[in-house]
Amino acid sequence: MRRILFFTLLVFCVAGLYSCRKDNAVVTQTIKQYDQQQIQAYISANGLTGFSRDLSGGDTTGIYYKIISQGTGKTFDYSDLITMVFTVQTLDGNFVTTDTIANHVYNYVGHVNRNNLPFSIANALINIVKTKGTRARILLPSHLAYGASGIVLPPGGSANTITGNESLDYYINVIDNLDTYDDMVVKNYITANNLTGFTQTASGLYYKITTPAAGAPVSAISIVSTQYTATLFDGLGTSEQYNGTDGSGASIDIANDNRKGLVEGLKLGTAGTKMTLIMPSRLAYGLTAYVDTTIPIFSCLKYDINIISVQ
C-alpha cells in the first residue's frame, strides 16, 4: 500500500513539474519575441520581400522596413519641419486607414506623436527614412506602437480602435516638393473620378464652366455674390458650404480674398456662370487650416460655384 501511495504521489509531482515548466515557457516569452513572431508570420503570409531589420545603434529595435524609393532631398533631424502622408493598418487587418488626406502631417519630426503617431515613428524617420522625398514601409512592433493598452483614434468608435499588442504596417511618404505632390494628387483625382472637360491654367488650377452666362464679368475689384460648396478629395462630406440664408450667397471681395484659386476661378466667370474648380492646396488654404470646418492644412479642394451677381 505504501509503495502504491508513493508511486501515486510521484506521478502527481512529475505532472506538476511538467505543468510548471510548460507555463513558464509561455510566460517567459517576451513581448519583443511575440512581436517578432507576428511580424515574420505577416511577411511570410503576405509574400512580402525586400524587408530588412532595423539595427539602429547596433541593437535591433524590432522594426522591419523596406525603402520603396530613397529621396534626394534634405537629410532631416528631430528639429526639422516635414510634410508627410501615411497609411497604416494592424497586421490582423481589423484596423485600416488609407486616407492620406486625413493622414497628412506637417510638423517637426520630433513632434509627429502630436498627430496621433507613436513617437517611435520619429526615430524611424531619423534612422531609416532619413531624407525628404523618401517612400518607405515600416512594420512597427506593438511594444513600439501603442503597447498593451492600444488606442482609440479620433473621432473614436470601434472602427478607429487599435487593440492592445497590435503591430502596425505603415506606408510613409515624406514629401520633398509639396507643389509637385499636390499637382500629382489633383491629376490622380481627376483620373480616378473620370472628370473631363477641364482646362488647366499656368498656376495649376483646373476649371470647367458648366453653365456659361453673359452677365457682368468678374474683375480684380469686383464684389461677387456666390453660392459654393468646397469638398476634400476623400469625399467625406461637405467641408465648406455657403448658400446664404436667403439664397443671396456669400459675398467675396476679389481684391482681398486670400484663396488664390477661388479668386482666379471667379475671374474666369460672369454673373450667372456655374463652374467647377479643382485646385492644389497652395491655391486653397495652404498652411492655414480652416478652423470652422474640417479642412486641414495643405488640402487640395474641389469647388462647385454659382456666381449669383457681380458688383
What are the boundaries of each domain within the chain? 31-176, 179-310
For residue 143, the SS3 value is helix
Query: Model confidence at 25, in pLDDT bands (50, 70, 90)?
Result: very low
Is the domain spanning 179-310 CATH 3.10.50.40? The answer is: yes
Instruction: Read off the pLDDT of each residue in 224-231 and give the average, rounded to a whole number.
Output: 91
Instruction: Read off the pLDDT of each residue in 199-212 and give the average, rounded to a whole number.
Output: 97
Weakest mean pLDDT among 49-63, 174-188, 198-212:
49-63
Beta strands in the chain (DSSP E): 52-53, 64-69, 81-90, 96-97, 104-108, 135-140, 151-152, 161-162, 168-175, 199-200, 206-211, 223-232, 240-242, 250-253, 274-279, 301-310
Q: What is the pLDDT of residues 241-287, one digit of tens each?
A: 666 556 667 889 999 998 999 999 999 999 999 999 999 999 998 98
Do 179-310 and 31-176 have the same topology in CATH?
A: yes
Full-model pTM:
0.83
Distance CA 55, CA 39 (A): 16
**Cell for 235?**
469625399
Beta strands in 56-205 (DSSP E): 64-69, 81-90, 96-97, 104-108, 135-140, 151-152, 161-162, 168-175, 199-200
- Give how far the C-alpha of residue 134 lies from the chain's centroid of Cα atoms, to the nearest Å: 15
pLDDT over 90 percentage in the chain: 74
- Amino acid letter at 82? I
Instruction: Read off the pLDDT of each residue in 217-229 and give the average, rounded to a whole number.
Output: 94
Q: Pick 31-176's CATH classification: 3.40.50.300, 3.40.50.150, 3.30.565.10, 3.10.50.40.
A: 3.10.50.40
Distance CA 274, CA 270 (A): 9
Residues counted in the chain: 311
- Give how far the C-alpha of residue 59 lies from the chain's centroid of Cα atoms, to the nearest Å: 30
Asked if the model's pLDDT at residue 148 lies above 80, the reply is yes
For residue 295, the SS3 value is strand
Q: What is the pLDDT of residues 40-90, one digit of tens each?
A: 999 999 999 999 999 987 778 999 999 999 999 999 999 999 999 999 999
Query: What pLDDT does 245 receive?
Result: 52
Are 274 and 305 in contact, with CB atoms under 8 Å apart?
yes
Query: What pLDDT does 15 receive?
Result: 40
